[in-house]
Amino acid sequence: MECIASLDQGTQSTRLLLYDAEAQLIDSHHMEFTQITPQPGWVEHDPMEIWDSVLQCIEKGLSQARSRHPELKVTGLGITNQRETTMAWDRTTGQPLHNAIVWMDRRTAAICQRLSKELGSGDAFRETTGLPISTYFSAFKWLWLLENVEAVQQAAAEGRCMVGTMDTWLMYNLTGGAHGGIFVTDVSNAARTCLMDIKNLQWAPDLLQRFRLSTDMLPRICSNAEIYGHVRDGPLTGVPIAGCLGDQHAALLGQRCRPLEAKNTYGTGCFLLLHTGTEPVPSQAGLLTTMAYQLGPEEPPQYALEGSIAIAGAGVSWLRDRLGLIDSVDECEAVASSVPDTGGVFFVPAFSGLLAPHWRSDARGVILGLSSYSGKAHIVRALLEAITWQTKEVLQAMLKDAKQPNFKLLRVDGGASRNNLLMQLQADAIQIPVRRPEHLETTSLGAAFAAGIATGFWTKEWVLGSTSEEKRHGDYTDFLPKVDPATIEKRFRCWEKAVERSFDLEDFDAE
């Protein structure tokens, strides 16, 4: 049995998934790793712990699969990763120079404010990169490392500093690390650094200079589907690494979205992408102009509009780990369903500021509308509703930029989309059907598709061709709106008031 392996390195866990020729899941293995929070607003990962989780997932996942399928042969490896998470390492030793700074970390707020003031606008880089100045993106994290970490400063001065996102770190180590490992990234991850020219898909020289970076410090930009190198050691020795996409771009491909089709992934955060075709669409409504994917070096790039929400599944984890309102993530749906509504409670989970369409790094989390009637179930349900209201905000901005009156449906995926109540609340909030596929791991499936296309395991036509809806998306569940539009709009206006009250609270940060 031949298969494609997909390595999904996410914000909270690493997974290996194996797919057969019909894109059906054969087996999988996952591991969680440590979330490091040195101070409020800071989030880090240990790159070596992540690398160890990759090795263990490969070893245990393949061993488990081969115990069931002894003749299993992996013909290609695709990689998908948490985007914007940023690190630096030593060229001579291959060792990290600092913990990875995670995408939701907001330590670079002062740098972003400084640049916005210096350049006269928070949108000074939008024309080149499609992105606003924000703590979200990698370039600002690299600048922080260069300004604040002595080991990084010294390595940069001596020409030993390599910088990259998690995809680059993994491909570097899988192919040998300091002993000949490849140093590459793909267009989707490069598009999230605020350093790549969105039109020519190359590093922008003027931005490299501004962020104190040189081309030798940065990886070479490649397409999403090509053979980058081969795994050097372990159970996958010799297997070509042939696909690489940032997680949300992988989900867009995994959902097989065509132009003017949108998907929302409910993971740690929430990410809504609209495939816009072969031309980048500038946003006037606070969204990001980004890559969809490029399925080969000679293939035309595909673009997307994106709205990013920092807290989705991470908010549910926070209810469990920090407040103790639920004992497990799975309990969330039952607790929230125990009440018919939020009892007037609104929860804005702006733990690290607000991303699209507000881009307010000064926002902080607030819970409003509490009364003596309020209980834990109301707060839990308000968190779920917050995810759906934020998605509604992004969807409205997307319709404005794309000049569309509405979409026929929203495709969804990601772990939190298993929550049936959340999906029903989402359909109610946006007043269009929400479609959830049977296989929710569309992120890993998208990485597998890219690797399969590059190695000839699948054709691009088979993955994206004009087949029937059922064949293109397999089994799915539709959630239809059940609440009348007038009620939804009244509650949405309350949500907008709650969002306004979350602004300008950075002075409340713990000292």
pLDDT at 470: 47
pLDDT at 468: 46
Q: How far apart are CA 35 and CA 50, in angstroms?
A: 11
pLDDT at 356: 82
pLDDT at 289: 94
Per residue in 92-127, pLDDT tens? 999 999 999 999 898 999 999 999 999 999 999 999
Q: What does DSSP say about strands 346-348 and 366-368: parallel, antiparallel, or unpaired?
A: antiparallel
Cα distances (angstroms) measured from residue 29 to each of 32, 60, 236, 271: 11, 7, 15, 24
pLDDT at 153: 97
pLDDT at 466: 58
Q: Looking at 268-359, which runs of residues are DSSP E strands?
A: 270-277, 288-293, 302-309, 346-348
Per residue in 273-295, pLDDT tens? 999 899 999 988 889 999 999 99
CA 296, distance to chain mean position in Å, is: 22
Q: Are 147 and 201 in contact (CB under 8 A)?
A: no
Q: What does DSSP say about strands 410-413 and 262-266: parallel, antiparallel, or unpaired?
A: parallel
pLDDT at 472: 52
Q: DSSP string of 91-157? A: TTT--BSSPEEPTT--TTHHHHHHHHHHHT-TTTTHHHHS--S-TTSHHHHHHHHHHH-HHHHHHHH
Give SS3 for 418.
helix
Please list the ranges in the chain whose pLDDT falls under 50: 468-470
Q: How far apart are CA 83 and CA 89, in angstroms?
A: 18
The one-letter amino acid code at 332 reads C
Question: In b/e form, how buried is each residue of 53-63, taking b as 16+ CB within 10 angstroms?
Answer: bbbebbeebbe
The dihedral over CA atoms of 282, 184, 104, 320, expressed in degrees to the nearest 10, equals: 130
Pick from 418, 411, 349: which is nearest to 386 by CA?
A: 349
Q: How far apart are CA 353 and CA 464, in angstroms?
A: 36
Q: What domains appear along the chain, each with residue ranges and CATH number?
A: 309-397+483-508 (3.30.420.40)
**What pTM value is reported for the model?**
0.86
